[in-house]
Amino acid sequence: MSGHLKVVASNTPPVKHDHLDLVLSNDKVLRLNDTRRFGAVLWQAKGEVHPLLAALGPEPLTEDFSAQTLIDACAKRSAAIKLVLMDNKVVVGIGNIYANEALFKAGILPTAPANTVSPDKLALLSTVVKETLAAAIVQGGTTLKDFSQADGKPGYFKQQLLVYGRGNQPCLQCQQPLSEIKLGQRTTVYCSLCQR
């Protein structure tokens, strides 16, 4: 979210919000700085799965996250598709920004009950999620406030956002003003004409 890891010399004094140093064999330190304290450091023995990670869904950029995975996850869920997409038990790592963007690209209304979205639309959504995340990685992520890459530079995916952060601005496809609501206590921006 907003924390970051950096490699520093072992004699570098910690600053505010530095929470953990892992001392490396080369006289360097891997340092965790996390202003908002959303991060966690978990240890597990080789070959074991940490209990807090055991119930997590697949990584979205792996073959384990497929059209069928998403179709199966949505089949019995009446929650809004955006909330299902952001549920870490379904798939990990799809945050608010990328859920907004993927749903727009797939033409799916974020408030639609997950079990009412057609299998074809869910298949498209699984593909679009992968494309959106891959594009964001190439751009170094999305810097809105304090996010930075490991080298301290901002992420540039913000310049490619189609809906997130653009509430009440014209849709880039149809020029209709984009709607902005709260869904699951998160800002949700969508086009009521392009997303059904």
Task: List, in sequence order, every residue forming a beta bridge with 32; answer none if it has no partner.
Answer: 5, 20
- Cβ–Cβ under 8 Å, residues 57 and 91: yes
The three-class DSSP label of residue 130 is helix
Q: pLDDT (tens digit, 9 = 90+) per residue, 45-89?
A: 999 999 988 999 999 999 999 999 999 999 999 999 999 999 999
Strands 28-33 and 179-183: unpaired
What domains lie within the chain, and their CATH numbers?
4-33 (no CATH), 67-190 (1.10.8.50)
Percent of the chain at pLDDT > 70 equals: 89
- pLDDT above 70 for 157: no
- In degrees and rounded to multiples of 5, residue 3 shows phi and psi of -75, 170
What pTM was estimated for this model as a whole?
A: 0.80
Task: List, in sequence order, every residue forming a beta bridge with 182; answer none if it has no partner.
Answer: 187
Q: pLDDT (tens digit, 9 = 90+) per residue, 120-145?
A: 999 999 999 999 999 888 876 554 44
Q: How confident is the model at residue 147 (pLDDT cuts 50, 70, 90)?
A: very low
